[in-house]
Every structure is written in structure tokens, then in C-alpha cells.
Amino acid sequence: MTKKIMMKGNEAIAEAAIRAGCRLYFGYPITPQSEIAEYMARRLPEVGGTFLQTESEVATVNMVYGAACTGRRVMTSTSSPGFSLMQEGISYIAGAELPCVFVNVVRGGPGLGDIQPAQGDYFQATKGGGHGDYRVIVLGPSTVQEAVDLMGLAFDLADKYRNPVLVLADGLIGQMMEPVELPEMRDLSNLPDHSSWALVGAKGRKPHKVTSFNIDPHELEKMNKRYQAKYREIEKNEKRWENYRVEDLEYLLVGYGTSGRILKSVADMARGDGIKVGVFRPITLWPYPYEALAEVAEKARFVLTVEMSSGQMVEDVKLALEGRVPVYFYGRMAGVVPTPEEIYRHFVKLLEEG
């Protein structure tokens, strides 16, 4: 058993990636996640890896594309405006079915916004931020420890499905220090074998071609059908969530990431006052755990969704419940993190309005 150490979220994310077998990092500095790049710049040379500071996020995502073509584990990290710049490349990566990992430490927006924790990138992250019919697996950590655990999962899922995976954190997860237990270093010789498609030179075999391209619409539709079949498979296998104090619930709070974590304190406060409140916290934001949410929400008199945005994930909550349970929303925007007390006050107000 490794012992717990105090680490800043961004640095823990970087170390977790290295321990998951990532030896390639390309990135452009942007607050509040630049510590990931700085950590990688220092640490990767120690383990025989490669760090490159790029000229832009546009270049970054394409370097990730090129590195992923070789089948080696590769990642980048950025924050909201930088993630917007990467969308074109992520569409190409999804179409070319390349395994790689992105981390978006979300900040306030839109536009230049600010550098405080926010959740306004949910639509962009989960609904396809770039062009075309594609999906990115999206994981939403609520603690530094969970961010560490999800980094390993992210690389495994990327390899398993040959698909980009996004860890959608926020400025709080990135900047906060918490005790974490790091996993052991993965044995690089034991990582998934991509030799059946990777671009590593056509030695003694037919050339491999990796593209998201086909000029014949019928052939391109076949490729699209293959992507969609894979997405259905991911939906079947990979949904993850956390239920908190839901056994006897009368009211349900729903939130992901940092808001999901805050909601646990809200539920504890309510239960202190004798109100039976539970929390549903989706961990995979795509595929979204609609069925699991419906199962716990259907026992509730109403559902309150809380986000650090104007209300984006709440649309998925409504999709899950299809009008069977009233769904309310409370949000703070632009980098303001709601306190448990203010959320509880809002909840009590809803109760009183009945």
C-alpha cells in the first residue's frame, strides 16, 4: 500500500498520467492548468518521456494526433479557450479512431472569461464540440484522488475503444491540494498492442493508412456506422456514477465534479434537519448514466440540479426523467463556486414553495 501524499490537483493529474504509461505530452500554457505542463516538463525527461511546449492549442491537438498514430500513450491538457481551439483536431482524432487523452481544467467563460473554476464547457465536452457525428468519452472528477484514478481509466478506455477520452475537471480540482494515493507505475511493455493499425513504417506488411477521410459518401457512411456501433458499445459498458445517501431519499440533488462534491455537504445539512436528501453524481458525462439517474430520481418528490454554469447538464437530467419528476436548477456562473449554505437555502425555498 502506497502512502498518501499532499499534491496539487494539476500535478497529481500529471503524475497519474505518467504512472498510467503516458510518455508524451504536448501543451500550451493556459491558466488554471499550466502546472500540468510544468510538471511534465520537469518529470517526463526523468522517465525517458518527451515534453514539447507548442506554438498553439491548434498545433497541440495535431501533435497529439501525430503521436497517437504511432500507438503510444499521449496526452495534452488545457483550459476552456484552449479546448475550443482543439475542437477541429478532436473531430479528426475521433474520425481517425486514435487513442489519446485530453484534460480540460475548465474556467469561467464565454470568451476570455476569467481564470476561476467553472462548468460552462459541458455542452462542448459532451455533445461534440467539433464538426460531424462523433463522441468523446468524458470523465468528471470531483476530488484530486478521483482525478488521479480517472487518469488511469482514461488511458485504458482510449486504448480499448481507440477513441479520445476527456477528463473534464475545473479550476478547483486543478488548483486545490489534497492527500492522494498514487497508483504504481505501469509496465510499459504490458500496454495494449496497436501494431495492427499504427503508423510505424510498413516493414514486411501492407501499408497502414489512418484517416477520417473518404470521398465516397457510401464508404464514409460505413465508417460512420462503425463509429456509432462503437459508441453504442461504450454506452453499454462504461457508464459510471456515484449515489450518496439515496436509500430512503425524498429529494434528489444532481451535480457532477466540484458541484457534485458540494452537494454531498448540502445533503448532510438537510439530513441534519431531518429532510431525506440524496445525491446523484454522474462520473461519466458521456456516456451519461440516464438509467441509473432515473432509478434513484423516480423516488424523489423533486430533483434539484446544481452546476457552475447557467444550466447545461440539467438538460441530460430532464432527458433521463422525461417529465416524470419535477427538475429544478440552481447555478452560479463565470467562476463563482456556490457554497453549501446558499444551495441549501435555495433547496429550502423550493420546499416551502412546495
Partner 1 sequence: MEKAIFNPPKSLSKREFTYCPGCHHGIVHRLIAEVIDELGIREKTVIIAPVGCSVFAYEFFELDGTVAPHGRALAVATGMKRARPDLVVFTYQGDGDLAAIGTAETIHAANRGEKLTTIFINNAVYGMTGGQMAPTTLIGQKTTTTPYGRNHEKDGYPIHISEILSTMNGVAYLERVTVDTPQNVRSAKKAIKKAFLAQIKGLGFGLVEVLSACPTNWGMNPVEAMTWLREHMAKEFPPKLFVDKVGDG
Q: Could you list the residues that contact partner 1 (CB under 8 A)?
A: 24, 26, 50, 52, 54-56, 58-60, 62-70, 72, 74, 88-89, 92, 96, 199-204, 207-211, 213
From the CB of residue 209, how many other CB atoms can be counted at a distance below 10 Å? 10
How far apart are CB 236 and partner 1 at their closest, in Å? Answer: 30
23 vs 276 by CB, closer to partner 1: 23
Place of cell 502506497: 2
59 vs 292 by CB, closer to partner 1: 59
How far apart are CB 67 and partner 1 at their closest, in Å? Answer: 4
Place of cell 451535480: 255
Distance of alpha carbon 5 from alpha carbon 178, whole angstroms: 8
131 vs 349 by CB, closer to partner 1: 131
How far apart are CB 286 and partner 1 at their closest, in Å? Answer: 23
Distance of alpha carbon 177 from alpha carbon 145, whole angstroms: 10
58 vs 351 by CB, closer to partner 1: 58
How far apart are CB 64 and partner 1 at their closest, in Å? Answer: 6
| Separation in Å, CA 14 to CA 34, 44, 130, 155 | 11, 10, 26, 13
Residue 75 near residue 64 (C-beta atoms within 8 A): yes
How far apart are CB 53 and partner 1 at their closest, in Å? Answer: 10
How far apart are CB 96 and partner 1 at their closest, in Å? Answer: 7
From the CB of residue 301, how many other CB atoms can be counted at a distance below 10 Å? 14
- Look up residue 233 and give its three cell numbers: 458499445
- 3-state class of 303 per DSSP? strand
158 vs 293 by CB, closer to partner 1: 158
Distance of alpha carbon 296 from alpha carbon 109, whole angstroms: 32
Distance of alpha carbon 79 from the chain centroid: 12
Angle between helices 290-297 and 314-321 (to 10 degrees): 70
How far apart are CB 323 and partner 1 at their closest, in Å? Answer: 41
Residue 294 near residue 252 (C-beta atoms within 8 A): no
260: left (phi over 0), alpha (psi -120 to 50) or beta: alpha
- Look up residue 59 and give its three cell numbers: 498545433
- Look up residue 73 and give its three cell numbers: 500513450
How far apart are CB 193 and partner 1 at their closest, in Å? Answer: 15
45 vs 179 by CB, closer to partner 1: 45
Residue 205 near residue 23 (C-beta atoms within 8 A): no
101 vs 283 by CB, closer to partner 1: 101
Angle at 348 between CA 347 and CA 350, to 5 degrees: 65
Q: What are phi and psi of 263, to 5 degrees?
A: -60, -30
Q: Bridge-partner residues for 7, per DSSP? A: 178
How far apart are CB 60 and partner 1 at their closest, in Å? Answer: 8
